[in-house]
């Protein structure tokens, strides 16, 4: 299977199954949270959702491979690769903060072809196919047309997994905060990318993200007319890295701002 719409159909079915699994579970008590790293939790709900999603994807496309945060973080495939975050925003979920999502992208021979981000508590689905646009239900998504940084609302995420990155991040944060209309941090990168695609955010940056954090959201942003890259402007997102997204003007401004504000670190 390599038709983008068919890939999206399989991904949508898997996302719905994963979201239904998450909604059907009792939220784990704090003594059931496993710590993967600093402030980085995983639970049986994450693992169960990824298993449900993975099984659905493999049932639909038996020759594919699933790259997921919890079960197969080192998987690779030369042909069809599913990049999955079964519960993007685990800490939010554990505290009942309503910003977490299922994120699934289909990558064929290295190229993003289909993507879906399902806002689990909101029940809102955003999706895209390569060349087919980005959509939320029947509404086509387009990035904002804000050009002036002083009018821009920017999303971000803290480098909580890599505290050594905090000094540079705080330097970037201070500069961007003082030159824009504001910064927001909700704690789910896939939903942040969707907010860029729908024009709520004019730009977004975050250091040290994984491919499952950015793959689906990147295609949605790009199909909405935006730009996604690493801090140096490279477009490859199927890897770990520091990433920037935005409408074309704000993406350019963020890349330039991040590049020039690195002194003294």
Last residue of a domain, one of 140, 158, 177: 140
The reply to whether 56 falls in a domain is yes
Contact 243, 115 (CB under 8 A): no
Q: 9 in a domain, yes or no?
A: yes
* pLDDT over 90 percentage in the chain: 80
Q: Are residues 132 and 164 in the same domain?
A: no
The pLDDT value given to residue 72: 60
List the structure tokens of 84. Answer: 């999955």
Q: State the CATH number of the domain containing residue 249.
A: 3.40.190.80
Q: 34-87, pLDDT tens digit by residue?
A: 555 444 446 888 889 999 999 999 999 999 999 987 656 555 555 899 999 999
The average pLDDT across 257-262 equals 84
pLDDT of residue 33: 52
Q: What are the pLDDT digits (tens) for 220-247? A: 999 999 999 999 999 999 999 999 999 9
Look up the domain containing 220 and give its range: 149-260
Looking at residue 31, what is its pLDDT? 60
Indicate the burial class of 250 (C-beta count within 10 angstroms; 0-12, 13-18, 19 or more).
buried
Model confidence pLDDT, tens digit, residues 133-154: 999 999 999 999 999 999 999 9
- Residue 113: which CATH number? 3.30.540.10
40 and 103 fall within a common domain: yes
């Amino acid at each position: 299977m390599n038709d983008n719409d068919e890939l999206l159909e399989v991904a949508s079915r898997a996302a719905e199954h994963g979201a239904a699994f998450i909604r059907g579970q009792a939220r784990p008590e704090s003594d059931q949270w496993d710590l993967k790293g600093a402030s980085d939790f995983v639970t049986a709900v994450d693992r169960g959702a990824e298993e449900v999603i993975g099984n659905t994807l493999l049932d639909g496309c038996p020759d594919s491979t699933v790259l997921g945060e919890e079960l197969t973080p080192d998987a690779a495939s030369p042909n069809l690769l599913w990049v999955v975050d079964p519960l993007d925003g685990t800490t939010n979920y554990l505290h009942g903060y309503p910003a977490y999502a299922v994120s699934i992208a289909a990558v064929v021979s290295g190229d993003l072809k289909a993507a879906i981000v399902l806002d689990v508590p909101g029940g809102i689905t955003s999706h895209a196919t390569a060349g087919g646009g980005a959509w939320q239900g029947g509404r086509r998504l387009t990035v904002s047309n804000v050009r002036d940084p002083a009018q821009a609302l920017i999303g971000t995420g803290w480098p909580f997994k890599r505290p050594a990155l905090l000094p540079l991040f705080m330097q970037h944060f201070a500069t961007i905060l003082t030159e824009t209309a504001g910064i927001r941090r909700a704690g789910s990168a896939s939903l942040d990318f969707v907010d860029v695609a729908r024009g709520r955010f004019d730009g977004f940056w975050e250091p040290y993200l994984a491919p499952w954090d950015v793959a689906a959201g990147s295609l949605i942003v790009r199909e909405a007319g935006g730009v996604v890259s690493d801090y140096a402007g490279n477009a490859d997102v199927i890897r770990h890295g520091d990433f920037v997204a935005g409408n074309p003007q704000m993406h350019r401004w963020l890349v330039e701002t991040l590049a020039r504000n690195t002194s003294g670190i």
